[in-house]
Every structure is written in structure tokens, then in C-alpha cells.
Structure 1
Amino acid sequence: MDEKEPEKEIEKKEDGGNAKPKKFGTWKIFLTGLVFLFALLSFTLYFSLQFLLGNWNELTVDEILYHIKSPMGGAGPHLVQLFLLSVLLPAVALFLLLLFIYLFSKRRFLPLYFSIGFFVFVLTICNAWDSISLGSYILSQIQSSSFIEDHYVDPKGLSLHFPEKKRNLIYIYMESTELTFMDKAHGGAFPENLLPELCALGKEGEDFSAEGEIRNGGIAMPGATWTMGAMFAQSTGLPLKISIEQNSMDSQEHFFPSVTALGDILEEEGYTQKFLLGSVGYFGGRELFMKDHGNVAVEDFSYWKRKNKFPRDYWVNWGFEDEKLFTYAKEELLNLAKNDRPFNLTLLTVDTHFPDGYVCRLCKNTYPDNQYANVFNCTSRQVNDFVSWIKEQDFYENTSIVISGDHPTMDRDFCNDVDSSYQRKVYTCYLNAATSVKEKKHREYSTFDDFPTTLAALGVEIPGDRLGLGTNLFSGLPTLTEEFGKKAEKKELEKRSDFMIRLGGIDKNSAFKQKEEKEQKKKEQKKEERKKS
């Protein structure tokens, strides 16, 4: 009996008795894989949050989600390198360490490794709850607001009246440039005025401040605190709020096609439109937005590279420096001025992008211990020189200039000494506008108000003086910020907007019809031009 029993045991095992252990082994491998993948995800999320908080200031969940879903090619190599070193390297190192211990330890206690991953995950969520207002964001997505829908003025329903002789537009988006960087005597929060030339331009032109030396600027509301959000806000009067499910910007053929932007309006009026920038155009969906709203010709780093403007292996900062951008802009302006059609030339600077900006050959070492301050100081001089050159040209008489910071700087350390009660605003200046303010007084306004105000600066008559969520600041009409207060407006804009989700949805048939209509208008314009010639 005793001798046969081992044989029976062997027979059982050979007879499929090992089926259950084999099945259990496969399941255990699968479960182990899931536990370690979860641990890797937790480590990556933790280090990603630390990376974001260590480099960006006043980061929002909206901004993070937008950039996750938008094209990131063309990002500055220094940021990519920093991300690899600060996030992926420590996350993978910790993951490999845990895996090594698991594989070579005698006791492979799987729940322990899951607990480590779970602890890091919970720690990350708790940190994000306050630091990037994750809790408020989740609550805001549960709560729906009709604020945008209730106050949105659709340009499609209005008859905008342009002057007989249409004015040219030069629009300069200045990367991360704030009113904050002026001294307190001029409305800033710094001990010294880093932007003296821009300060003087603000006084010469219009920034909707009261009489005196204190300058004024626009408040960047939720949905307008990063470059593409800022451009969208200033061009449409709307915050860039997207549906996570429906609107991954890296896979869309259209960018809010049902929204009417500044580019759309100017295209209908026969403007030649160009967008010049020293970085890669498709980053963040900028090229898609420009082409989809006004068929604006995008002349980015790649465009100027094809023109052999610099060596093929040339790359500094995010592409090429602003000195080159202003040089190329002068060439474009002289060419545009030769044509009979009005033009819209839009620029986006990049030297002042965080962290610390790019020091070009024109920069002075005025602030030895603060590179970023030197770069802003240099940009102030460069923009002033560019504007001075424009003033000397024949086309200036019939040209309005808008200079606006795109959003407050994201550099975490640069504004450390700024009092938390200080309202940070982007630099704003309207030069050579076709109209003037009804009353010289300090206005509380947001960057949404730039949309109708820019058209008014071109001499356009706007029924009701409102477009999008914006108010024509040259009129005496109160802005939404003045009417509701910035805190109440901000609170409503942070909530989920079903109206914006509908606007961002892609109706392919509608988009196709819009494209056909635009093509038909172009053909009609060409016929008229041929008749005139």
C-alpha cells in the first residue's frame, strides 16, 4: 500500500492534476503584473505632481488636462529633459528596486507591494487636492453653471460695421508678461520696474487705467491661464473649457468650429492674415486654431527653417529667439503693406517662457542674480524698438497695435515676494486705436474683453458693444468682471459648462458646410478682385 501510494500521486499529477496549479500560476503572474504596474503608475503620478508644483505657479487641472490631450511636439528640450530626469528616472528606479526585492526575496508577500503603491497614490491625491485644487475641480465638474450661456453674445447674430477704409491690425502676444513686473509706483508689485519701455507705451496708448502713473491690465480668468487658452480667450471672448471625452485636441480636425473668432470676422472682411512665432506651430493646437478660424497662414519655426533663414541644425530655447521673430515680422509687414488688402499680423514671443527665460545677445546683465528679470527687461526694449520701427512706416497711420501678455508667468519662484492679496494682471496696451475711451477711469476687466475691444480699436461698430463674454472697453458699458465681481465670475467659470461642451463638439456635417461656405466666399472675393484689376 505504502509503495503504491506514491505511484498514484504521480499518476494524479500526470493525469491533469497539475491543471489547477498551472491555472493558479498564470493568475498569480497576471495579478503580480497588475500590482507592479499600479506601483509604477503611482510613482509616476507622484513625481509628476512634484515636477509640476516645483516649476509651475498657480497650476490648474483644466490646464493639465488640456495639455495632456493636445499636441506636445515642439516642447522646449530643456523641459523634456527636466521631465525625464525629475519624473521618469526616479519613478522607474523605484519600480525596478521593488521588482528586484520581490524577485530575489524569499517571502514574496504581494499585498505589501500593493500597499506601497496604494500609499503613494493616496499621498499624491491628498497633495493634489489643495495644491492644484483637485477637490474644487471635482466639485466644479459635479456642479453645472449656465453663466457662460447666459452672458455669451454670438457674433454670428450681429451686424458688425467696418469703416470704409479698413484698418490693419498688429497683435503681439507676449509670453508670460504681467503688469506685476512693474514697480509699485506704476501698479506693479516689484521693487524695480522691469518693463520701463512697456510702461511708457501703456501710458502713451490705452490700457484703461485712470489718470496718473498707475498702469492697468487684464485678469486671466479660468480657461485663459496658458498660451492656447489665452489666445482662445482674447480671440473669442470665451474660456477654453473642453470635454475630456469629446475633444482630444491632438486628434481633432477642427477647433471649436461653431465658435466665431476674431480671425473668422477679419477673413470675411477680406483681411490677409499671418501668425508668426519662433516655436513649433502645432504645439498645444495653435496651428489648428489659427487655420480653422480665419485660414490664418502660420509661419513658425519650421516655416522659417524651410526659408533657409538660419542653419538647419539651429535650435535655441523653444526654436529661435525673439530677435529673429521681430526681424522676420518687419519683412512680412513691408510685403503686406504693398497689397491693397488690409492685413492682420499676429506675433507670439517666446524668450520670456519659464523657467528663467532665454538670454539672447541683446540682453543686459542689469540684474546679476536674476536671469528671468534680465530677459523681461530685454523683451521690453525689443518690443519698444519694434513698435518704434512700425511708427516710422507709411502703413502705421492706418494700423492699430494691440500688445498683450498671454497669461501670468508660470514660474513658481519669480513672484515669491508678491503679496498674495495683489491681483496679478497681464500687460495690456492699445496703440493708435481708431477710437478713444468715453471716460478716463480705472476699469476692472478680463482678457475676454480684448475680443470686442480689438475690433473697436479697428473702428468697427459693434451693436451692444459686447461679443463673447467680452465688453468693448472703449465704451462705457460695464464688463462682466465689474458687474459680478472677479471672485463670483471666477467661481462660475470654474464650474462645468454644458454650453461649452456643446460648442466644442464636432458636428462633421456642420463643419463641412462651414468649410464649403468659406471656400465659396473666397471664390467670390477673388472674382471681385479680378473685376477691380
Structure 2
Amino acid sequence: MSGLGITVTVIIGFLAVLILRSSSWMLKTWNNLSMEELVFHIKSPLQGTNEGMIRDYIVSCLIISLVIAVVLAAIFIITKKNRMAHRISILTTLVISGLTIVLSVRHVWTMLDITAFSNNHNTYSTFIDDNYVDPSDVSIKFPEKKRNLVYIYLESMEMTYADKNNGGAFKENVIPELTQLSLDNENFSGTENILNGGTSLTGTGWTVAAMFGQTSGLPLLIPIEDNSMNTQEHFFPGITSLGDILKSAGYQQSLLIGSEAEFGGRKLYFTEHGDYNMWDYNYFKNIGGIPQDYRVWWGFEDNYLFKFAKKKLTELSSSDEPFNLTMLTVDTHFEDGYLCPDCSDTFGDQYSDVMACSSKKVTEFVDWIKQQDFYDNTTIIISGDHPTMDSDFCDSVDEDYQRKVYTTYINSAVEPENTAYRDYATLDAFPTTLAAMGVNIDGNRLGLGTNLFSNTPTLIERFGIDSINAEFAKNSRLMENLTSDIKTDDDLNISEQETVEEVQTPVVTADLSVIPYDYRTGRFQVNINNLVTNGTVDLQAVRCAVWAAEDQSDLQWYEAEQREDGSYVVNVMARDFGYVQAVYNIDVYVSDTMGENQLVGRVNGEIVG
């Protein structure tokens, strides 16, 4: 019993330190963390999370907790011969550990206002229902000569990164070119001539939600994990978005991104609402724009993005039809960004240098557009997608400073009626984009957004940021109706019989096998034989997704090599997974010339010692 008592006490002590350190680390890593944001971070996959953040947690929390546990065990063993000292040490540890756990939980509970979060999610609000303006019910009139649109989402870009004199929050401006670009054009700061930008409200704080919000005027409040809309058959089929409106007006529309469009449901949303062409990582790899084995960061970096954008804009402008090219940069994604060869060591901090590099590249790209024949009839809109999720980049920002995304409207067809400094949300971009293109909107409101070129007050100007976020955190009958078709994890669990029926009419079949791990070569081999398609698949490549972790945080993609006999082989290298010994899932896909992936089947391989 004494040994058991020591063990239990050590475990309790370890948990107490771990909870204390973890709560402190969490609140420090994500400044001004809310419960909604915590839920998002917990549910989101680890893809995009820098290894440095994971190492920091291990060192700051896990290792320290283990060291304390070892010290406690040593103390208990040493004092075991002295019964009184032994009992006192165990009792003291239990009391201190209990208090530590209680106080840590209480502190987090208070800081995140979990009581209010719980109450909100059990309360219905009519705020969204009362203030939503359905675009299908609004008279929208385009000018006789329709203007082109170039909409550039800048990953994690905030006006915060500018210096204080220009409306930012930093001592030194790390985005000087973007700052000047916004000051020279329109950001709705009125006569104050400083930076101004959109506030990212609840439900708009990650990339797909930001893109959805700025084109639909709605927050992405869904009953599933935030980046899981790619698992659905439809993406808010009951709404009318910017893409829908432009499609009806005869626009040719395209989404250009350096990652895989499927992620987060972006492909589903932009194809269903506007029939956009998908020019993503897979597309350019399949047409030879980048090498087949090329992959950096999330796919390809912004150097490629702007190179491809110039070529595509040249092609689009040769048509008589108006166009909408929507782009998303990626180099500034957290944590610390992607340091390309063009980035200079100016600030001594990688993320600052990446932001500065992005500032130059984006401005140079805009300057290139201005030199093109199509520019006179083209509106350019540049907006950060959401505030950065980087763990420490904004540590020095005053708590009272309102962080907003970078915003500028270039070559607008209209001028603002209101010359005062406007308080607005990223949701207001929806009607404001159309207004900048010379479109007349009856009532100047679409979705939950307001046309900022008009005198109509925004929801933030009427109700305030905190009030709106509180209402967004509650349930809404309208949002429930708009998301009624979304299938949850339980809905997606297909019965065994349905699975059998689906397999009876496959589009692609193959015989899959695995040659066991060979420690001498450090690999196991996946063989794909007798690959047959039913004629509907224009086969371009065979790929394997390999992972062991439940959240797929270690996922690696492999291109299969075709043998002379027509079979395919993939060598899965242990070094790619840090030689972690585990059973690995292997999903085999075929890709067609349009970049579409179709699952062939799954096998398992194992890395053993």
C-alpha cells in the first residue's frame, strides 16, 4: 500500500504541475484567447503548426512536469524510513497539488469565461435572423460595362504590423509597402489618413471561414470541426454569395492558391457558389507548372503564386467576358511563416522578415497590374483573411489596441459618401466589393454586411464588437436552417451494407499489397498491381497518403513510380516519420488531369525496430 500511495501521489503531483504549466502556456501562446478560439484550436488538425510550438510545449510543460514527478518520487523514497516525515511529505504534496489543480482550473475558467460560453451555447438569439439581408431579395444592378475583380486574401495579414504613427501597433513598420498602398487608396479611415481594416468577428477567424465571410456576409458557424466542410456534399446551398452574383452576371471566375483547394471545403464552396476554376497546388503540378515532386510549406510558395497569377490574368484579360480572379497567399501562415530566398534578414525575426517580404511582393504585383491594359476597368481588393495565430508575434501589442486585418480597395468605381473613420467587420466586404465594382445595391446591405461606400451604418457601429460576438456565440434558427444539410461524424458513419454496395461498382480497382519493413533499407514497400479504371478516369498519377497519428499530423504524400509492366510501387521511408515505430495507414489514390483524387483502397504497413 505504501508503494501504491507513493505512485498515486506522484501521479497527482505530476498532473497538478502539468495542468498549471499547460494553462499558463496556453494563455501565453494565444493572446486574448476566448473559449470559442480554444474550441477551434482543439478541434483543428496540427497541420500548419510549427514544430517549434510543439517543442516549446514539451519543454515548458511536459518535461518540467516529469522532472517534478521524479523529484517527488525521490523525496518519498528518501523519507520512507521516517514514518512521520513520509506522511507529512505525501500529505503536503496532495494538499498543494489539489489546490494547484483547483486554482488553475478556476483561473482558466475565469479568463475564458466558460460559464458565459456554456450559457450562450444553450441560448437562442435572433440577432443573425433579424439582421441578415438575403441577397436574393435585393435589387442588384451592374454598370453597363462590367468591371473586372482581383481579390487578394493575404494570409494572417494585419494592419497591426505597421508602426503606431500609421495606425499600427508596432514600434517599427514591418509592412511599409502595404501601408503606403492602403494609405494611397481606400481603407475607410476617412480624413484621418491612417490604416483601417476589418474586424474578424466570431466565426471568421480561420482561412475558409474568412473567405466564406467576406463573400457571403455570414460567419461560418457549423456543427462540425471548423475545417471539415470538405466532408460534405454541399456548402451552404441555401445562400447567395458574391460568386453566385458574379456568375449570374456572366463573369469567368477562378480561385488561385498555393495549397490544395479541398482543404477546409474551399473547393466545394467556390465551385458550388460561382463555378470557379480551381487553380491550386494539384492543378499546377498536373499541368507541369511545378515539378511532380515539388512541395514546400503548404504546396508552393508565393513566388510561384504571383508568377502564375500574371500568366492567368493575361489569359483572362484576352477574353471579352469580365473576370474575377481570387487569390490567397500562404507564406505568412503561422507559425513564423515561410522564409523564401528573397526574404532579407532585416528585423532579426523570421516572421517579421516574412511579413516584410510579403509586403514587397504584393505591392510589386499590384504595380504590375497597374501597367496592364485591363487595369483601367479592374478593381483590386486586398484583405487579410484573419488575425495571425502565431504564438508570440503580437506579444508587445497593447491589450486595448483593436487588431484588424489589413484592408485596401484599389481603383474603385465609387468614392465613399461618409468621410468619417468607419468601424467595420470583414463581413462588410461582401456588399462593399460589389459597390467598388460600380454595382448598385438597393439598401446597401447584403448578408450581415454593409456597403462601406454608403452612409449606412455597419453592425459594429450600431451594436459594438463585443455584443455581436456574444450574439454569434449563441444559437440561431437561421444558421440552423442554413446548416441543416451538414452531416456530422455520426451521419458520416456509413453502414457496412452501404459500403459493400458502393464497392460493387468501383470506378477504379487495384490489387494492393505491402512488402514488410526492412530495417537495412529503412523502408517498407507498397505495390499497386492490376490497376483498372472504368473509363471515366483520365489517369494522371498514382499517389499514396501515409500516416500513423490519429489526427494525421504526421501525414506524408508519396508519388508512385510506374514499372515497365504497368504496375506501381511506393517506397515509404522510415526517416520521413522520424523512425517512429507504429502501424501506418496507406490510402492509395489516382489523380486525373484536373487534379481530382479518387480513393482506390487502403492497406497498412508497419515500421518496426
Same fold (TM over 0.5): yes
Residue aligning to 2:418? 439
Deviations 1:130-183 (A, max 9, x none): 455433321211222111110000001112101111111100111111111111
Distance 1:83 1:284 in 2: 27
Q: Structure 1 or 2: larger strand share? A: 2
1:317 to 256, 281, 297: 297
Helix, strand or coil at the partner of 1:445: coil
The alpha carbon displacement at 1:317 in A equals 1.9
Deviation at 1:310, TM superposition (A): 2.5
**Whole-angstrom CA distance in 2 between matches of 1:67 and 1:421:** 24
Deviates further, 317-326 or 452-461: 317-326
Bigger Cα displacement from structure 2, 57-66 vs 197-206: 57-66
More deviation, 445-454/51-60: 51-60
State whether structure 2 residue 454 is matched by structure 1 residue 455: no
User: What is the CA distance between 1:470 and its match in structure 2?
Assistant: 0.7
Alpha carbons 1:57, 1:410 under 8 Å: kept: no
- TM-aligned CA deviation for residue 412 of structure 1: 2.5
Hey, what does 1:165 align to over in structure 2? 145
Higher relative contact order (CA 8 A, sep 6+): 1
Which of 187-196 and 304-313 deviates more? 304-313
2:467 aligns with: 488
Which whole-Å deviations, capped at 9, do the CAs of 1:494-515 have from their partners, x for residues lacking one? 222232121111189xxxxxxx
2:150/2:380 contact within 8 Å kept: yes
Deviates more, 1:207-216 or 1:222-231: 207-216
Shift of 1:314: 2.2
- SS of equivalent residue, structure 1 residue 218: coil
Please name the residue that 2:482 is paired with.
503
Query: For the structure 1 residues 75 and 215, does the alpha-carbon distance in structure 2 shift closer, same or farther, using more than 3 Å as the test?
Result: closer
**C-alpha deviation, 1:248, in angstroms:** 5.6
Q: Secondary structure at the match of 2:383?
A: strand
Q: In the alignment, what sits opposite 1:429?
A: 408
How far has the Cα of 1:123 moved from its partner? Answer: 8.3
Matched letter for residue 201 of structure 1: L
Taking the aligned partners of 1:414 and 1:170, their CA distance within structure 2 comes to 29
Change over 3 Å in CA distance of 1:244–1:320 after alignment to 2: closer
> What is the 5 A alignment of 1:24-103?
53=27, 55-63=29-37, 65=39, 75=48, 78=51
Aligned equivalents of 1:259, 1:118: Cα separation in 2: 51
Q: State the distance in 2 between where 1:500 and 1:417 align.
A: 37
1:424 counterpart letter in structure 2: R
Alignment of 1:235 with 2:215, yes or no, is yes
Which moved further from structure 2: 411-420 or 77-86? 77-86
- Structure 1 residues 333 and 253, CA gap change in structure 2 (3 angstroms): same
Candidates 374, 389, 411, aligned match of 2:390: 411
CA contact (8 A) 1:76 1:318 kept: no
User: Quick check: 1:357 aligned with 2:367?
Assistant: no
Structure 1 CA distance, aligned partners of 2:226 and 2:385? 26
Distance 1:43 1:174 in 2: 39
Cα distance between partner residues in 2 of 1:87 and 1:271: 53
Structure 2 CA distance for partners of 1:83 and 1:318, relative to 1, 3 Å: farther
Residues 263 and 69 of structure 1: CA distance in aligned 2, closer, same or farther (over 3 Å): farther
Give TM-score, length-normalised by structure 2. Answer: 0.67
Whether 1:400 and 2:379 are equivalent positions in the alignment is yes
Aligned to 2:370: 391
Give me the CA root mean square deviation.
3.8
Q: C-alpha deviations, 1:378-401, integer Å up to 9, x for none?
A: 111100000000000111111100
**Structure 1 or 2: larger helix share?**
1
Which residue is equivalent to 1:260?
A: 240
| Deviation of the 1:486 alpha carbon | 2.3
What is aligned with 2:252? 272
Deviation for aligned residue 1:204: 1.7
Contact 1:55 1:355 in 2 (8 A): no
Kept after mapping to 2: 8 A contact 1:66/1:242: no
Q: Secondary structure at 2:190's aligned position in 1?
A: coil
Cα distance change of structure 1 residues 79 and 135 upon mapping to structure 2, 3 Å threshold: farther
The 2-side partners of 1:130 and 1:286 are apart by 36
Task: Give distance in 2, aligned partners of 1:62 and 1:170.
Answer: 32
Counterpart among 355, 358, 361 of residue 379 in structure 1: 358
Question: Is the Cα contact below 8 Å between 1:219 and 1:424 reproduced in 2?
Answer: yes
Count of residues in Structure 1 that have an aligned counterpart in Structure 2:
461
- Aligned residue type for 1:260: T
Secondary structure of residue in 2 paired with 1:443: coil
Verify the 8 A CA contact 2:227 2:264 in the aligned structure 1: no
- For 1:63 and 1:304, how far apart are their aligned partners in 2? 34
Deviations 1:429-476 (A, max 9, x none): 000011111132211111111100000011110000000111100001
8 Å contact from structure 2 (residues 40, 226) kept in 1: no
Give 5+ residue unaligned stretches, structure 1: 1-40, 98-116, 509-533
Q: Per the alignment, do residues 341 and 88 of structure 1 end up closer, same or farther by CA in structure 2, a change over 3 Å counting?
A: farther
* Residue range with higher mean Cα deviation, 221-230 or 41-50: 41-50
1:465 aligns with 2:479: no
Q: Which letter maps to 2:445?
A: R
Q: Distance in 2 between matches of 1:128 and 1:427?
A: 31
Work out whether 1:366 is the aligned partner of 2:349. no
Shift of 1:493: 2.0
3-state SS in 2 of match to 1:163: coil
**Deviation of 1:229 (Å):** 1.6
* TM superposition shift of 1:357: 1.1
Cα deviation per residue 1:170-200 (whole Å; 9 max; x = unaligned)? 0011111111111111111110111111111
